[in-house]
Structure 1
């Protein structure tokens, strides 16, 4: 599915550190230094006469429950035409780092609430980016037991909400094989390298029909 990105539109990106990429620590880079900025640059190049506003409200370390809790404050007054969400890897990471478990049911309930809020009072088009993991250690292969069901949740919600789906997990893991190893795509298995961000940006803009 491809969304219809109008020449006059507001695009809201939400998520965790993969989407934030320094936008909170560097006031001069409100879109961060990752795939959001790259995607915005690609869109502006393709639509030089467009009036498209890009907004990044992602917060590093967030889980889906955090995103749900701050959604109304972050979105107040924006009325976005497109909402792009990437959230979930911290819900898995926290299980193995600190024993804080987010069940697939809780993840789905909170994610569905986020999408319902995003659609509340608007006809915003949705882009859901799968959470992903490109294992660089043997331990991280075990994380897939927790992450894979959450990826399936995102796919089901994309169908339920008629959202465009960016199948990032398969895309980036295949890219790792082509590039010669996971570290070329995500140095720690989670946070993309510049190449990883470029691949996400290219895939995102393809969903926008560019």
Structure 2
């Protein structure tokens, strides 16, 4: 697939990672790796990369800022990474109003409808704890399946980030991908970027 020039990455803290401290507002996470990869492999393309990750965001928060952070930028490509906090809040803040799989799917579909003329890249939610049997990863499965289904319905590129992280955990390498079970270290960001590149290619 030939990528359009203007790319918006939107999501939660995993996407945001360091963008507020970065003069380019791209950050130090997987978005930075992808920006640099695109810059050095296709210098004539002059890609415009926008990082619109916000820490703590759930799908309901994306809906609130979709017009300003996505539509108003008139992107050629929209890459979405969301779902971790929709599940994590069920575990660490059960008193909050939660985002059920049904609500998650309905809002995600609503957002995609507004940008379906752009190239769509949907990233599976990654992991919650580096344990295959964690409660978070069990709850996450339904949200991952929704992203997979929506990617199929909208002819979007699916980035199988959950799948590759699970595959990595199954190998029991002993080398962590996160700092706290959710937020990526440099290896986790590399795996996300590598998976994105392979899916988009």
Calculate the TM-score normalised by the size of structure 1.
Answer: 0.88
8 A Cα contact 2:71 2:115, kept in partner: no
1:131 and 2:128 matched: no
Structure 2, unpaired ranges of 5+:
none
8 A Cα contact 2:179 2:185, kept in partner: yes
In structure 1, the partner of 2:3 is 5
User: RCO (CA 8 Å, sep 6+): is it higher in 1 or 2?
Assistant: 1
In structure 2, the partner of 1:19 is 15
In structure 2, the partner of 1:185 is 177
Residue of 131, 141, 149 corresponding to 1:148: 141
> How many Å separate the matches in 1 of 2:38 and 2:172?
26
> How many Å separate the matches in 2 of 1:145 and 1:50?
41
Report the RMSD for the aligned CA atoms in angstroms: 1.8
Q: Report the secondary structure of 1:172's partner residue.
A: helix
> How many Å separate the matches in 2 of 1:152 and 1:185?
22
Calculate the TM-score normalised by the size of structure 2.
Answer: 0.91
> How many Å separate the matches in 1 of 2:3 and 2:22?
27
In structure 2, the partner of 1:195 is 187
In structure 2, the partner of 1:79 is 74
How many correspondences in the alignment? Answer: 199
In structure 2, the CA distance between the partners of 1:117 and 1:208, relative to structure 1 (3 Å rule), is same
Deviations 1:126-158 (A, max 9, x none): 0000002153469x7112332111111000100
In structure 1, the partner of 2:23 is 28
Structure 1, unpaired ranges of 5+:
none
> How many Å separate the matches in 1 of 2:51 and 2:60?
18
8 A Cα contact 2:16 2:54, kept in partner: yes
> How many Å separate the matches in 2 of 1:21 and 1:48?
24
TM-superposed deviation, 1:208: 3.0
TM-superposed deviation, 1:76: 4.5
> How many Å separate the matches in 2 of 1:170 and 1:205?
15
